[in-house]
Amino acid sequence: MPGGSNRLDDRNVSRGPGVDLGHICRTDGANARAVRHTHHAGRCGGVVERGEQPYVAIRSSVAMGGIGNAIERSYPQVCGWLEARGLPPAGAPFTRYNLIDMERGLEIEVGVPVASEIPGDETVVAGILPAGRYASLTHVGDYDGLVDANQALQQWAAAQGLPFAMSETQAGHRFESRLEICLKDPDHEPDPAKWETEVAYLLADG
CATH number, domain with residue 124: 3.20.80.10
Return the pLDDT at 202: 99
Return the pLDDT at 45: 79
Return the pLDDT at 15: 52
Return the pLDDT at 5: 55
Q: What tens-digit pLDDT sequence spans the chain (206 residues)?
A: 344 456 565 644 555 433 434 333 444 433 333 333 333 334 567 999 999 999 999 999 999 899 999 999 999 999 999 999 999 999 999 999 999 998 999 999 999 999 999 999 999 999 999 999 999 999 999 888 999 999 999 999 999 999 999 999 999 999 999 999 999 977 788 898 999 999 999 999 96
The model's pTM is: 0.83
Compute the distance between CA of residue 166 and CA of residue 177 in angstroms, rounded to an integer.
8
Rg (CA), the chain: 16
pLDDT, tens digit, for every residue of 14-40? Answer: 554 334 343 334 444 333 333 333 333
Compute the distance between CA of residue 60 and CA of residue 58 in angstroms, rounded to an integer.
7
How many domains are there within the chain?
Answer: 1
Task: Sort strands 94-101 and 125-129 into parallel, antiparallel or unpaired.
Answer: unpaired
**Quick check: 70 and 110 in contact, CB under 8 A?**
yes
Reference 202, options 169, 168, 173, 163; nearest CA is 163
Residue 187 burial (CB < 10 Å; 0-12/13-18/19+)? middle
Instruction: Give the domain extent around 68.
Output: 3-202
Reference 175, options 202, 139, 145, 142; nearest CA is 202
Compute the distance between CA of residue 193 and CA of residue 206 in angstroms, rounded to an integer.
32
The 8 Å CB, 24+ separation contacts for 6-10 are: 6/154, 6/155, 6/157, 6/158, 6/162, 6/163, 6/164, 7/154, 7/158, 8/100, 8/154, 8/173, 9/102, 10/100, 10/102, 10/150, 10/173
